[in-house]
Every structure is written in structure tokens, then in C-alpha cells.
Amino acid sequence: MSANDTTTVLVIGYVWPEPRSSAAGGHMMQILESFLEAGWHITFASPASIGEHKADLRSLGIDEQAIELNNSSFDSFITQLQPDVVLFDRFMMEEQFGWRVEKHCPDALRVLETSDLQSLRDARQQQLKERLKADPDPDDFSELFAPELPQIFQQMSATDLAQREIAAIYRSDLSLMISDVEIGLLTEQFCLPPALLHWCPLMLDAPDAFRSFEQRAHFLSIGNFRHAPNWDAVLWMKTTLWPMIRQQLPSAQLHIYGAYTPPKATALHNPAQGFHVLNWAEDALQVMSAARICLAPLRFGAGIKGKLVDAMLCGTPSITTPIGAEAMHGDLPWPGAVESSAQALARAAVQLYQDSSAWHRAQAAGQALLAARYDRRLHGPALVARIEQCREQLVQHRRDNFTGAMLRHHHHKSTQYMAQWIEAKNRTA
């Protein structure tokens, strides 16, 4: 590639990015912005319907293209585009379109944006269900949060979801991992080559100033209601955690914001209990900046949590679980508290809500954490450099990944024939 050539990128999105609805949408926009800063030309394509909070990609100079599943019109589209890099957003898009990309653009670098390991999140959700079935006590989840990587591997490895997801990682030339804990899980337990993975956390700019302790009030929880861990956290707060906090702070108020609020969530709205379900926040950072404490009592999940990074950006201390804090702070202190039981979470929330000195120490810890792990000026160029390095060494890179080549051979053939059968069936229907 000469210095005058412009790298062409095709992103195949599971959904159209909604940065104000989810951390996954925000992370996708950060990746796109890194590509734009490198001078790359981007086309974003998706088979999904357009959501109400979709980002305006065209205003950024990004082309948009609607595509269809199981339709050869994609073949004509990608043959004409001839991208240098194809980014699959979530492994399901690699499953659907990987064989078409390889067939029509064999020299394009294939990158997978995992967002988080869905198979890990699913395994933890099953563990929670089993724990609640065996012991309905809603308070202490220390044992649930304690398993080491070998135990998590045992839970995941036999599942269909893990086998599909990790096969897609093998088939891709490079997979973007938002969590370094998940990188450890993949390399140490699933034995994936580190050369196939790249740590790409949320990429952020440092904030300027914050509202003071005295200017803030209330507790806040925020997250897309379509995301199962968020909904579970709301239920746990409603039934267990929030009554404990209100017992110690009778006038406390909890404001819960979430995109795509279902009726089952609005039914929990109860101002008399200080429990307010307030639908989608037009500006998440604005409402986070007005809150004194962010509550994120996640009992399962994966990746890193956008709501907790937003809290740091706003100088808002947070109370969460080991699942919430996983992969987010390394060896640095948490900007708030990390606890494993409802009683400990409630105690920490009340103490931090009332203690101005502890609150300011937590706020300062959040700023140190942002600078150490989430600096856009470091991670954006590092992502671009890793992709360029893989492109330059693509032949050898693929030769070293024989397992991926083998999986592509068998999976892509079966997927191709299934897709062609579905397309033919649709034409005759």
C-alpha cells in the first residue's frame, strides 16, 4: 500500500450504532472515530432496522448501506466496494457474512469487534439462575462472584454459544477485546493465540471540571433495558438493595434511566418509595453529573461497563459488584466501592453519600483511572497501528492460524450452502 492510498473499511453492524443507548454503541463510535482520524474511508452496513437513537453517521463522512441476510445482493455490493478491512460487529455478523467476504474480497483483513464475550455473560446468567433456584436468599452473592478463570471455563466450554463465538474469533484475522480479563480467559483457558487478539477498551478524553458534592443529590442507575444484566440489577435494587438504603436514608431518591423502557420496568415506578423509573435520558452525562452516587449492582455480565466509565467522566463515585468492576481498574483503587452482598452495597452507598471527604477521594480515583486505562490518544492510534501491522503481514499471519483456516473451510462451506438454500426458498415463496 502506497502512502497515497486511502484505506477503505467496511463495517458490518449487528445494529446501527446508538452511542447514547449502550456502551457497545459508544465503543463502536470510538472505533469509527479512530479510523476517521487515520484518514480511512468508512462504509457502515447493517441488516438491522434503524433504531430511534441511531447516530448520524453521514454527518461524519461515513457512508451508510442497508444490506440483507441470505441475499446475494451483498456479493455485488462488496465486490464493487473492495474494502481493505472488514469489521464484523459481533460474531453473528461474521457467521452470516464471513464466507461472502472471503469469497469476494479474500485479501481484506477480517476484524471482529466482540463488544464483550456473550458466551461469558450467558454462562454467568445461568449461574445466577442456578444460584437463585438452589438458594433464593437475595443478599449475599460472594460465591457467585468468586470463581477463577478455570471454573468459568468449565461453565462456558460445553455451551453452543461459546463454541460459536470462539470459532468466529479463530476465523477472524484480529478480534478486538474490550476486557483484558477476557483476553486472559481466551489465551489461558481456551488457548487462543495472543496474536489474534487486541485490547481495545473504551477510548475517552479526560474531563475538565465537575459539580461539587454540595451541588449534587440522589442516587442514579442507568442502562439499556434490553440488556439483561441491567434489568436484573433493577429488580435486585427494587426488591432488596433500595429498601436497605431507604431504611437508613428515608428521604433518598433513586433515578433509573434506560433506553427502550418496557412496561414491566415502568410498572416498578414508585415515587412514594423514592424509586423513579424515568425512561431514556437525552443526555446521560448530564443526569450522571447531577447525581451524587451511581448504583450499578450487576449480578452477571461481561466486558466493561459504560455506565461506570460515564460515572468517572462525570466525577460521580459508583457502587458496584465484582462483576461490574471486572477488567475496569487493574491494580488501581475503585472510585467508590465494590461489594458482593446487598447489605454491604447498601452500607457503602449510604456512607459514601454522606461522607464528603470519602466522596472526593473516590472522585479523584476515578480521574486517575481514566488517565491510566481509557486515554483515547493512546488506544485509538494503537488500534490503527495494529490493523496496519496485520495487513502488512497478512499472509504469514493467516499461515500461523491454521485452526482458523480449518474452521473457515468447514464453516463457510456449510454456511454458504444454507444461505443459498434460504435465498432460493425466499424467491419461490
What are the tens digits of pLDDT across the range 1-43?
Answer: 444 479 999 999 999 999 887 888 999 999 999 999 999 999 9
The three cell numbers locating residue 319: 457502587
Residue 328: Cβ within 10 Å count: 26
Give CA–CA dist 237/301, Å, rounded: 16
Give the model's pLDDT for residue 1. Answer: 45
Tell me the C-alpha to C-alpha distance, in Å, between residue 258 and each of 46, 48, 54, 125, 195: 24, 21, 15, 20, 37
- pLDDT tens, 269-306? 999 999 999 988 889 999 999 999 999 999 999 999 99
Using the structure block, give the residue that is written with the C-alpha cell 487478539: 197
What is the average pLDDT across 405-418?
76
Instruction: Give the CATH number of domain 219-373; options: 3.40.190.10, 3.40.50.2000, 3.20.20.370, 1.10.357.10.
Output: 3.40.50.2000
Q: Which residue has the higher pLDDT, 412 or 387?
A: 387
Q: What is the pTM of this model?
A: 0.93
pLDDT value at residue 279: 83
Structure confidence at residue 396 as a pLDDT band (50, 70, 90) = very high
Ranges of beta strands (E only) in 293-418 are 293-296, 318-320, 336-338
pLDDT digits (tens, 9 = 90+) for 327-345: 999 999 999 999 999 999 9
Contact, 214 vs 249, CB < 8 A? no
Question: Which of 142-146, 179-183, 246-250, 403-407 has the least mean pLDDT?
Answer: 142-146
Cα separation values, 214 from 211, 256, 287, 355, 357, Å: 8, 21, 16, 11, 12
| Domain 8-119+149-203+376-428, classified CATH 3.40.47.10, yes or no | no
What distance in Å separates the CA atoms of residue 366 and residue 273, rounded to the nearest whole number?
30
**Residue 112: what pLDDT?**
98
**Numbered ranges of CATH 3.40.50.2000 in the chain:** 8-119+149-203+376-428, 219-373
Instruction: Identify whether the C-beta of residue 66 lies closer than 8 Å to the C-beta of residue 47.
Output: yes
Task: Kindly state the percentage of the chain with pLDDT values over 70.
Answer: 97
222 bridge partner residues: 257
